[in-house]
Amino acid sequence: MSNLMDSFCWLYGQPSCQGRMKVQPEHFVVKEILGFAFAGAGEHLMVKIRKTGENTKYVVNELAKACGVKSRDVSWAGLKDRHAVTEQWLSVHLPGKPDPDLSEFEATHPGVEILETARHDKKLRPGDLQGNWFELRLTELDQPQDVVARLEKIAAQGVPNYFGEQRFGHHGNNVVKARSWGNDEFRVRDKSKRSFYLSAARSWLFNQVLSARIEQGNVHTVLAGDYLQGPTAEQDVVIDTVTADIQARVERGELAITAPMMGDNALPTSAEAEALEMAVVEQEPLLLKLIRDNRMRHERRPLLLQPQQMVWQQHDETVTVSFVLPAGCFATAVVRELMIERELEDGRHANFDQ
């Protein structure tokens, strides 16, 4: 990974193995998990696509043309990588119209396949996504056995739930812009840019708090005043006194230790946990000012990410691993604990192909 992510601590120590990811699009496969069934009727045509080497917004624009609608009439639950093979659903608003013939669209877009269509009574929105299934092929590994050993640790204890490098832009440019905006050096009127910079600011602060807890050796250990997340919001709790039972529930995965997605309201944590979080985030006063000026609401995010359905196999210098992650979590957070990624020939890192 690049120097940007190298500033954050590794849970199992910096990997010694070097290798490549996404040498070919087929080396990074993503399948979307919506987690709900379609109504079978309604104004929205649901189109399941498999795309190779194309980004989601390009396909959205082309599908809109094929359906005779504007791009804003096509929606998605999540954006998917370009340099990959990805499957996802798109929704097209076609009130009172029959399903269009998409055979010409497929014929003229060899990187896109139509896998399935359906009808639904609501459009897809960001946030509708339950998760994603990933299959990653890590190649040219100089220490593949070390990768396998780390996979065993990850299956047992998870990985840091870091926001990936793509959240921060090339060379962290979104964070740089966010600091400048927070310093009143310019105004941002474009809604998408505002969203990018605010998201980068909050994600950066979360990563900093998470890294600090790893460095201090308490990422698995409940602190007095920690905000613990349960299966539902009603089961969330702030811990005044740490007990053996509470610690055991965290270790069993019943409760999750969290860090802040900063907002303009006070932290819900207290005591030792609040002091730790504030000591970290106050080192970024411009990002805090930006978040507060824009009235962002405080949220919580688990410190650790536990990949589900993990399966892997090694063949010579290649390790193929598959797993399921919840929406909003990054496969690169898993890869980061496995190997040091060699740069592509043009100096980029593979996880920037959005």
191-215 helix and 271-281 helix, angle to the nearest 10 degrees: 120
Distance between CA 289 and CA 293 in Å, rounded?
Answer: 6
Q: Which residue matches tokens 């979307």?
A: 32
The rounded distance, in Å, linking the Cα atoms of 116 and 113 is: 9
User: Would you report the helix, strand and coil content of the chain in percent, each value rounded to 5?
Assistant: 35, 25, 40
Q: Are 240 and 224 in contact (CB under 8 A)?
A: yes
Residue whose tokens read 């993990």:
310
> Distance between alpha carbon 328 and the CA centroid of its chain, in Å?
4
The catalytic site residues sit at 81
Render 143-210 in DSSP notation, one character per residue. Answer: -HHHHHHHHHHHHHH-EE-PPPGGGG-GGGHHHHHHHHHHTTSS----HHHHHHHHHHHHHHHHHHHH
d(CA 322, CA 134): 5
Positive or negative, the Cα torsion across 5, 1, 340, 157? positive
Give the count of beta carbons closer than 10 Å to the beta carbon of residue 116: 11
